[in-house]
Amino acid sequence: MATKGMQTATAGTDPELACPIGPVVDIVFSRWTTPILWSLHTHGRQRFVELERGIARITPKVLTQRLRQLERDGLVVRTYHPEVPPRVEYEISELGRSLAPLFAHLAEWATDNLDKVEQSRHDYDADSA
């Protein structure tokens, strides 16, 4: 959703900009970022392998990619300890921690409404058949 060319000469405002949460969705809710942030938030500082084991089915390559992105966005702090064997620790940053109420809010919505979504899907599929 990287929006290029926002300053085109089209009349009026870019309609996509009318949705003010687009950028934040890309940052916080791209694939794997929520499980990573959640794990870091609830279990505290963790090493690479710990994260790898804690998050089912993620591959090291993808975990690295996501962690780099999160680090670049300032949501996660990476600490490298030059030992043998090397030790790297990841922890959630202040900025990342500021997402906690949002996540709680999301979790609350889930517990309140996920079954309604499930029900709706069931009904919809029944009607289609």
Partner DNA sequence: CAGTATCCGGCCGGATACTG
Where do contacts with its own copies occur on this chain (CB under 8 A)? 1, 14-16, 18-25, 27, 29, 31, 34-35, 38-39, 42, 53-57, 71-75, 95, 98-99, 101-103, 105-107, 109-114, 116-117, 119-121, 124-125
* CA pair distance 103, 99, nearest whole angstrom: 6
Between 112 and 125, whose beta carbon lies closer to DNA?
A: 125
Q: Does 42 bind DNA (CB under 7 A)?
A: no
CA distance 98 to 93: 9
Which option in its own copies, DNA, none does residue 65 bind, with CB closer than 5 to 8 A by kind? DNA
Query: Would you give the binding string for DNA spanning residues 67-86, x where CB under 7 A is met?
Result: x----------x------xx
Pairwise CA distance, residues 129 & 118, whole Å? 17
What count of Cα atoms within 13 Å lies in the side-chain half-sphere of residue 110? 6
Q: Where are the alpha helices (DSSP H) in the chain?
A: 22-28, 33-43, 48-54, 60-72, 94-97, 100-128
Q: Which residues bind DNA (CB under 7 A)?
A: 30-32, 47-50, 57-62, 64-65, 67, 78, 85-89
